[in-house]
C-alpha cells in the first residue's frame, strides 16, 4: 500500500518572480540553469517550494520579504500537521522499509510500482530528482531507490550523487534507455548499485530489488 504523504505548498513561477522582484523569465532561467530547485507539472509549468526559494535568495544575498517567510511557515506547519494526522499509517521501525520509484513518466512510475508491489513493501513515487530528495528527507526509512536516468529539471546522475552524499549505504537502481556504455560514462567516481536498460524484463527488476532488500536484512 502506498504511503500517503503531506501535500506541499507550491509557488508558481510568476508568484516567485513577484516575491523576488525579478521577471518570470529570470526565474525560469534560474530553474533551467539548475540554480533554483523546482517541480514541473505534466503541463510544463514550474512549481517552487517556498523554503527552496528562501534558501536560494539567502544564498544570493537577496532580501526575503516577510510575506514569503509567512508562506514558508504555513507550508512547514501544514507538513507537520498532516504528518501527525498520518502517524498511524507511517512506518515506525527500520523493519518496515519502503521503495522509492523516481520517474518523470507517470505510466512508467505505475508500471514500476506494479512490478515491485508483490514484494509487499510500501511504494513511494516521485516525478523528478528534486521531488525524490524531498521524499527521502521526509521518509528516512526508504531502503531502495529505483531511479530514471533522464528527467527534466535534474537528471538521475546528479540526483544519484546527492543521494549518495546524504545516504551512502542506500541501494540505487538506475533505469535508462541509453546504452550501457553511455549510462556508465555518466558515473565516474561513484557507481550505482545496478543499471537496468529499458525495456527491461519486470522479473529482472523484481529480482534485483528483492536481492538488495535481502542483503539489508529485510
Whether the predicted pLDDT of 134 surpasses 60: yes
Asked which of 56, 87, 118 is the last residue of a domain, the reply is 87
Average pLDDT taken over every residue of the chain: 82
**Higher-pLDDT residue of 46, 99:** 99
Asked which of 32, 52, 87 is the last residue of a domain, the reply is 87
What's the domain range around 151? 91-215
Regarding whether 204 and 99 lie in a shared domain, the answer is yes
Prior bond of 126 cis (ω within 30°)? no
Asked which of 54, 87, 120 is the last residue of a domain, the reply is 87
**Higher-pLDDT residue of 33, 42:** 33
Q: Rounded to whole angstroms, what are the CA distances from 176 to 6, 114, 181, 191?
A: 29, 18, 11, 14
Q: What is the mean pLDDT of residues 148-172?
A: 89
Q: What is the pLDDT of residue 201?
A: 86
Assess if residue 36 is contained within a domain. yes
Report the number of distinct structural domains present in the chain. Answer: 2
| pLDDT (tens digit per residue) in 174-192 | 998 888 888 888 887 788 8
Regarding whether 146 and 201 lie in a shared domain, the answer is yes
User: Which of helix, strand or coil describes residue 173?
Assistant: strand
Q: What is the pLDDT of residue 5?
A: 41
Regarding whether 191 and 106 lie in a shared domain, the answer is yes
Q: What is the mean pLDDT of residues 205-217?
A: 86
Regarding whether 68 and 137 lie in a shared domain, the answer is no
Q: What is the pLDDT of residue 184?
A: 87
Listed in sequence order, the DSSP H helices in 60-104 are 66-85
Regarding whether 175 and 147 lie in a shared domain, the answer is yes
Q: What is the pLDDT of residue 78?
A: 66
Regarding whether 157 and 114 lie in a shared domain, the answer is yes
Residue 73 sits in a domain whose CATH number is 1.10.1660
| pLDDT (tens digit per residue) in 45-71 | 788 888 889 989 999 999 988 888 888
Percent of the chain with pLDDT over 90: 28
Least confident among 61-65, 88-92, 93-97, 122-126: 88-92
Q: What is the mean pLDDT of residues 102-113?
A: 92
Q: What is the pLDDT of residue 140?
A: 81
Amino acid at each position: 500500500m502506498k504511503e500517503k504523504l503531506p501535500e506541499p505548498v507550491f509557488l508558481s513561477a510568476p508568484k516567485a518572480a513577484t516575491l523576488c522582484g525579478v521577471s518570470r523569465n529570470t526565474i525560469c532561467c534560474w530553474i533551467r540553469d539548475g540554480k533554483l530547485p523546482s517541480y514541473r507539472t505534466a503541463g510544463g509549468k514550474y512549481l517552487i517550494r517556498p523554503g527552496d526559494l528562501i534558501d536560494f535568495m539567502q544564498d544570493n544575498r537577496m532580501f526575503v520579504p516577510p510575506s514569503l517567510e509567512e508562506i514558508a511557515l504555513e507550508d512547514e506547519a501544514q507538513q507537520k500537521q498532516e504528518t501527525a494526522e498520518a502517524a498511524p499509517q507511517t512506518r515506525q521501525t527500520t523493519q518496515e522499509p519502503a521503495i522509492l520509484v523516481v520517474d518523470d513518466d507517470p505510466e512508467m512510475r505505475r508500471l514500476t510500482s506494479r512490478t515491485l508491489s508483490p514484494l509487499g513493501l510500501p511504494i513511494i513515487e516521485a516525478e523528478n530528482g528534486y521531488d525524490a530528495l524531498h521524499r527521502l528527507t521526509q521518509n528516512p526509512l526508504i531502503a531502495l531507490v529505483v531511479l530514471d536516468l533522464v528527467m527534466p529539471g535534474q537528471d538521475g546522475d546528479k540526483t544519484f550523487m546527492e543521494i549518495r552524499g546524504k545516504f551512502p549505504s542506500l541501494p540505487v537502481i538506475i533505469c535508462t534507455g541509453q546504452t550501457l556504455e553511455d549510462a556508465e560514462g555518466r558515473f565516474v567516481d561513484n557507481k550505482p548499485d545496478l543499471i537496468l536498460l529499458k525495456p527491461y524484463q519486470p522479473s529482472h527488476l523484481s529480482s534485483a530489488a528483492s536481492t538488495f532488500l535481502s542483503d539489508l536484512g529485510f
